[in-house]
Amino acid sequence: MAEFTRGWARREFIIGALACSACGPQADGAGGKIVAGLSVPLKEASTLPIGTAITAADLADAQLVRLIKENFSQLTPASEMKMGVVINDQGKLNFGAAERLASFASDNDMRLHGHTLVWYRVEPSFFLGLADDPKKFRAEYLRYIDKFLRRFKGRVSGWDVVNEPISADGTGLRDSVWSRTLGKERYIALAFKQAAASDPNAVAFINEYGLEARPAKRLAYMRLIERLLKKDVPIGGVGTQTHISVDLPERAVADTLRDLASFGLPVHVSELDITLGRGAAATAGKLKLQARRARQVVEAYMQLPSKQRYAITLWGVRDRDSWLRMPPYDPDSDRPLAFDDKGQPKPMLSALAAALKGAS
């Protein structure tokens, strides 16, 4: 962790990065080697940290725990580091569930990735109650970030400091209690400045979704990052959640990763899953296409300079654990992950492992 994070606090970024978003990568060959039944555990296929996301409740599931220990070298708490879990109505912080996952990670030699400090979707009543007192609100906001980061200092390799700052339509910025009380972009700048002060060795990520299928949203995200970096806001890494679909155009992931890498910062594929589409049957053809997309993600990622490769994280382990299997998504049938409902490896797993091995 330390050798990776050192050196990023004062990094340069390439002005003019946005110019690259129109150029495509080399055509990617047809087919792709998918080694059926490849038995190499995912994490042994590469030295790159390969992450997954679980909840504290998942620790009671023996099969899931075994699959995690065998295959993953990094852990993201799916919910336990979100404000909604950590802070109560009086502003008291409770890190119990986050600590359980942190212990699991350290007991199993897994790196821990913090997710997420500030997110428009979590507006705790404690903060809503302070919204008419911006001075107090600001002090508590900074105190929250400071307390959290100091507590996990040395145990967390990176943080998603601000999650999903771009508006749903992909053109502007999210409106939230944070933006309304602290300023449209100011809340982001404040969070990153506090994060850098509280734990300068953790890579401070900004994180967003929908960048692969929607180039306009990607551009809005990049423009925001560029504006903030120009103002010396210490963003340390760029995350792309990579919730993608089997139907994504061939070059979309490679274009996205190359564009995001143009800032010169570490890039995190932070929440990879590949939906078959709502209600779509898991035909052999769809699962093969899913494996092909997974291979493309790894191959494109491995094209980045090694210093910019932070990790590839899958958002879950078995299909049935996926957030896409919860309402309002597709409770019955989606198969977005690398292990099936029974914990058996899917073609997607073999493709990930083969591509990681091929690239190392």
Residue 163 interacting with ligand XIL (CB under 6 A)? yes
DSSP 125-190: HHHHTTTT-HHHHHHHHHHHHHHHHHHHTTTEEEEEEEE--B-TTSSSB---HHHHHH-TTHHHHH
Residue 323 interacting with ligand XIL (CB under 6 A)? yes
Residue ranges in 267-296 that form contacts with ligand XIL under rule CB under 6 A:
271
Query: With respect to ligand XIL, which residue has the nearer C-beta, 95 or 323?
Result: 323
Give the single-character DSSP code of 26. Answer: P
Q: How far is the CB of 26 from ligand XIL (least distance, A)?
A: 31
Among 54, 67, 78, 356, binds ligand XIL (CB under 6 A): 78
Helix (H) or strand (E) holding 71: helix 62-71
Q: How far is the CB of 160 from ligand XIL (least distance, A)?
A: 7
Residue ranges in 235-264 that form contacts with ligand XIL under rule CB under 6 A:
241
Q: How far is the CB of 273 from ligand XIL (least distance, A)?
A: 9
Closest by CA position to 81, among listed 111, 119, 42, 45: 119
CA-to-CA distance for 160 and 188, rounded, in angstroms? 12
Q: How far is the CB of 246 from ligand XIL (least distance, A)?
A: 18
Question: Known catalytic residue: 44?
Answer: no
Q: How far is the CB of 120 from ligand XIL (least distance, A)?
A: 11
Residue 76 interacting with ligand XIL (CB under 6 A)? no
Query: With respect to ligand XIL, which residue has the nearer C-beta, 55 or 333?
Result: 55
Closest by CA position to 234, among listed 267, 210, 201: 201
Closest by CA position to 351, among listed 274, 281, 278: 274
List 80, 226, 271, 299, catalytic entry: 271
Site size with ligand XIL, rule: CB under 6 A: 7
Q: Are strands 309-314 and 267-275 parallel, antiparallel or unpaired?
A: parallel
List 164, 208, 212, 299, catalytic entry: 164
Vertex 204: Cα angle to 325 and 94 (nearest 5): 65
For residue 321 the two structure tokens come to 């654990």
Among 5, 52, 79, 296, binds ligand XIL (CB under 6 A): 79
Residue with smallest beta-carbon separation from ligand XIL: 323
Distance set, CA 287 to CA 12, 273, 299 (Å): 41, 13, 18
Active site residues: 164, 271
Applying CB under 6 A, the residues found at the interface with ligand XIL are 55, 78-79, 163, 241, 271, 323
